[in-house]
Amino acid sequence: GAVVSQHPSWVICKSGTSVKIECRSLDFQATTMFWYRQFPKQSLMLMATSNEGSKATYEQGVEKDKFLINHASLTLSTLTVTSAHPEDSSFYICSAKGTGSNQPQHFGDGTRLSIL
Amino acid sequence: AQSVTQPDIHITVSEGASLELRCNYSYGATPYLFWYVQSPGQGLQLLLKYFSGDTLVQGIKGFEAEFKRSQSSFNLRKPSVHWSDAAEYFCAVGVWLSFGAGTTVTVRA
């Protein structure tokens, strides 16, 4: 149980384009979803937290107009990297958490984003 | 504020040998503690979690961890390591996870 699907797993695109990454909880309802960014050989950096039907809460230093997050349902959140540039290239990971403070976060497999 | 320290950046262990990964946390109340494992190019998989109760927690893949309040530690252990255990291991604390820097485990034949 508690499967989180993240799609696509790898995307390469030209500078200036927008890229959408989907995160789905397949067998549970995710009241809260999280988006992380991970640089090589480093830990995860939380970008934003989103609750279903609400605006996302962004961490300090994360541009909300650059990284658009939508959490339209209890099973789907999307991250759109707008007007992507090479410095946005990274590994992006989502996680989903069910209701209750004692529910752990379950992670997707990540998306490798490469901007040329 | 909550924080996690993983003192060991990289550990090399022989296949079949025991493994212990250290984790120290800073948290204002009884912590929620987690260990996750990440294989290269993949997301994180939950190994085990501690919320309350028995301080020795059993997880998947033969891992266990012990919560020691007096030492603010939550060390991960495995009695006999397999080559497939080579990965990055992250300790995390709190409802909204604060991650440690991670420990890379290399397994030699």
> How, if at all, do strands B103-108 and B10-14 pair?
parallel
pLDDT at A10 > cutoff 80: yes
How far away is chain A from the Cα of B42, in angstroms, using its nearest Cα?
Answer: 5
* Interface contact flag, A110 B42, Cβ < 8 Å: yes
Q: Which residue of chain A has the CA closest to B89?
A: A43
Tens digits of residue pLDDT in B2-61: 889 999 999 999 999 999 999 999 987 778 999 999 998 888 999 999 988 899 999 999
Residue B108 has what pLDDT?
96
Which of B48, B54, B43, B40 shows the shortest CA–CA distance to B23?
A: B48
B62 phi and psi angles, rounded to 5 deg: 80, 10
Q: Is the pLDDT of residue A66 over 90?
A: yes
State mean pLDDT over A44-66: 91
Residue B49 contacts A, CB cutoff 8 Å: yes
Closest to A46 in 3D by CA, of B92, B45, B5: B92
Q: pLDDT tens across B13-22, in order?
A: 999 999 999 9
Q: What is the pLDDT of residues B60-90, one digit of tens each?
A: 999 999 999 999 999 999 999 999 999 999 9
Q: Which of B97, B103, B106 to mutate to test the interface with A (most CBs of A within 10 A)?
A: B97
Q: What local confidence, expressed as pLDDT, does residue B18 receive?
A: 98
pLDDT at position B77 is 98
**Percent of chain A at pLDDT above 90?**
74
Element (H, E) at A106: strand A105-107
Close Cβ partners of B48 (under 8 Å, ≥ 6 residues apart): B34, B35, B57, B58, B59, B60, B63, B64, B65, B76
